[in-house]
Amino acid sequence: MMFEERIAKILQIVNERNTASVAALAAEIGTSESTIRRDIIELDKRGQLKRVHGGAARISNPVITNEYDVQTKSEIHSDLKLKIAKYAATAIHSDDFVYIDAGTTTLTMIPYINAPGAVFVTNGFSHAKALTQRGYTVYITGGRLKLTTEAIVGDAAVRSIDKYNFTKCFMGTNGIDEKQGFTTPDIDEALIKEAAMRHSYLSYVLADSSKFRKVSSVTFSKIGAACIITDNIPDDSYKKLTVIKAVD
């Protein structure tokens, strides 16, 4: 297991259980206790967990670990999502090969895409259906369907994404933090987001302003790796890290 994948799993376990011993983490992740100790030291330095005798504990100000279902998320800040989605749709052109991440804001943009000839890849079950109904060529990743977010996840999904080279990708996020970057509660979804951004020439993250200064369990990218499309920029310090478009 790669370093970033391993520490994401450590964070997921510790945040779910409040504490975890080195021995338990090593057994569950399938690596040595010495490796886990080094990872805990690094995560403690980053401020993502607290190093304690024999293991690790979640920090006193815990990260967001819960994930709402699609119906609930679609009703949260729906007016802001619509503004963001409409603007994001204008960034897609007829010669683009696009990855669209599963998520309610990315789903909202599909009716506003006007790019005949564009080709799409998605891990969103509803996204694939909506794009196909609009007449676009759509490829869907392999993998396991996660019902709560209607996202296709797992090793097969990551492997299929690794074959592609996208001109653009459009992602959702649960949190945006200057230090921790873009985050999500689920390690499987984080790995897919990370892979898609790695294989994209341009990456866009669609997020309303409530997502700023929030941290979820797993980082899938640093802020500088993507342009942010939002409704409002709460702090000018974020402008120093990447390109941000605040839609009217």
> What does the alpha-carbon distance between residue 218 and residue 145 come to, in Å, rounded to a whole number?
20
The per-residue pLDDT for range 96-139, each reduced to its tens digit, is 999 999 999 999 999 999 999 999 999 999 999 999 999 999 99
Q: What is the pTM of this model?
A: 0.74
Q: Which helix (H) or strand (E) holds 72?
A: helix 70-75
- What's the mean per-residue pLDDT of the chain? 91
Q: Say if residue 200's pLDDT is above 80.
A: yes
DSSP labels for 31-45? S-HHHHHHHHHHHHH
Count of positions (residues) in the chain:
248
**Residue 79, CA distances (Å) to 19, 84, 103, 105, 248 in order:** 39, 9, 15, 10, 12
Neighbours of 248 (CB within 10 A): 5
Predicted local confidence at residue 65, as pLDDT:
64
**What percent of the chain has pLDDT above 90?**
70
**Residue 178, CA distances (Å) to 97, 142, 196, 198, 238 in order:** 30, 33, 21, 20, 7
Predicted local confidence at residue 48, as pLDDT:
80
Ordered by start, the domain boundaries in the chain are: 3-57, 70-246
| Between 124 and 7, residue with greater pLDDT | 124
Predicted local confidence at residue 2, as pLDDT:
79
Predicted local confidence at residue 164, as pLDDT:
98
Predicted local confidence at residue 165, as pLDDT:
98
Only one residue has tokens 């294989």, namely 199
Contacts for 228-233: CB closer than 8 Å, 24+ residues apart: 228/176, 228/204, 229/84, 229/87, 229/88, 229/204, 229/205, 230/84, 230/206, 231/80, 231/83, 231/84, 233/209
> What does the alpha-carbon distance between residue 185 and residue 38 come to, in Å, rounded to a whole number?
23
The per-residue pLDDT for range 140-159, each reduced to its tens digit, is 999 999 988 899 999 999 99
SS3 185: coil
Q: Mean pLDDT across the stretch 167-186?
A: 95
Q: Mean pLDDT across the stretch 78-84?
A: 93
Predicted local confidence at residue 130, as pLDDT:
98
Q: Would you say domain 70-246 falls under CATH 3.40.50.1360?
A: yes
Predicted local confidence at residue 155, as pLDDT:
94
The per-residue pLDDT for range 208-220, each reduced to its tens digit, is 988 998 899 999 9
Q: Say if residue 241's pLDDT is above 80.
A: yes
Q: Does the CA dihedral 89-134-198-41 come out positive or negative? A: positive
SS3 181: strand
Q: How far is CA 205 from the centre of its chain?
A: 9
Predicted local confidence at residue 210, as pLDDT:
85
Class of domain 3-57: mainly alpha
> What does the alpha-carbon distance between residue 146 and residue 154 come to, in Å, rounded to a whole number?
10
Neighbours of 133 (CB within 10 A): 11
Q: Say if residue 188's pLDDT is above 70.
A: yes
Closest CA to 207 of 87, 119, 121, 110: 87
